[in-house]
Chains A and B, each alone.
Chain A
Amino acid sequence: DTGVSQDPRHKITKRGQNVTFRCDPISEHNRLYWYRQTLGQGPEFLTYFQNEAQLEKSRLLSDRFSAERPKGSFSTLEIQRTEQGDSAMYLCASRGQGLYEQYFGPGTRLTVT
């Protein structure tokens, strides 16, 4: 059990550029979650996968955001045409069958200049 990993840990991009983040969950966990955390706030839910199926999306996930989990293992979160308001920490979490808790990765900090 190596924990949830995220890549990159930091990303600085210019407004209008596209960015993609990757999350590798704990290997036996079939549920994967994305959250966004801004400074001084708790994480806010973005979307949820069970295996490869995206089962729920928050209203926070505008049309510029898309998430995939093509083989039910790792997941990617893409933000198109980034805006300064997208600057935040993007957190990934996973949960295994029969478990109540989610396990979080270290996050990807996005800065849009």
Chain B
Amino acid sequence: GDSVTQMEGPVTLSEEAFLTINCTYTATGYPSLFWYVQYPGEGLQLLLKATKADDKGSNKGFEATYRKETTSFHLEKGSVQVSDSAVYFCALSPSDFNKFYFGSGTKLNVKP
């Protein structure tokens, strides 16, 4: 069945460091891919999305490219800030969009 695997955390970085959070997926057909972020005490917020192969989603300095050949959707940011500290979830939605499959989340801690 469809599933998402993302790197385990926590990931601890210093401010202005480069961030990569790995995400790979298993799916039939042509899923859409998403990154959601959950700040402490808050709900999930959409960070970015890509709906077809080779699409690049971007938002707030974060980027991820839908790589069908490697079934990956890695999240990157060139220079993290303390305010980026949160839990990041990779998710996929099959082509019928009837549900999302989420990874287990990666906690990011950014130190000043």
Interface residue ranges, A against B (CB under 8 Å): 4, 31, 33, 35, 40-45, 48, 55-56, 58, 91, 93, 95, 100-107
Known: A40-B105, A100-B32, A100-B93. A45 touches B45 (CB 8 A): no
Within 8 A of A (CB), among B30-55: 32, 34, 36, 42-46, 49, 51
Q: Are A100 and B99 in contact (CB under 8 A)?
A: no
Asked if B25 is at the interface of the complex by the 8 Å CB criterion, the answer is no
Residue of chain A at shortest CB distance from B48: A101
Known: A100-B49, A103-B46. A43 touches B99 (CB 8 A): no
CA distance A96 to B91 in the complex (A): 18
On chain B, the number of residues with a Cβ less than 8 Å from chain A's Cβ atoms is: 23
Q: Are B104 and A40 in contact (CB under 8 A)?
A: yes
Selected contact of A100 from candidates B42, B89, B97, CB within 8 Å = B97
Residue of chain B at shortest CB distance from A46: B99
Residues in B with CB closer than 8 Å to A102 are 46, 93, 100
Residue of chain A at shortest CB distance from B42: A106
Residue of chain A at shortest CB distance from B44: A104
Most chain B beta-carbon contacts within 10 A, residue among A40, A100, A107: A100
CA distance A104 to B32 in the complex (A): 17
Known: A100-B49, A100-B51, A105-B43. A43 touches B97 (CB 8 A): no
Selected contact of A48 from candidates B4, B99, B102, B104, CB within 8 Å = B99
Minimal beta-carbon separation of B21 from chain A (angstroms): 13
Given A31-B97, A56-B99, 4 new contacts (CB under 8 A): A93-B44, A100-B34, A100-B93, A101-B49
CA distance A88 to B81 in the complex (A): 30
Known: A43-B102, A44-B102. A104 touches B93 (CB 8 A): no
Q: Can you list 13 residue pairs at the A/B interface with Cβ under 8 Å?
A: A33-B99, A35-B100, A42-B105, A43-B44, A43-B89, A43-B100, A44-B102, A45-B99, A55-B98, A95-B97, A100-B93, A103-B46, A104-B36
Residues in B with CB closer than 8 Å to A40 are 104-105
Selected contact of B91 from candidates A42, A56, A95, A103, CB within 8 Å = A42
**Which 9 A-B residue pairs are closest in the complex by CB-CB distance?**
A42-B102, A45-B99, A104-B44, A106-B43, A104-B43, A101-B46, A43-B102, A42-B104, A100-B32
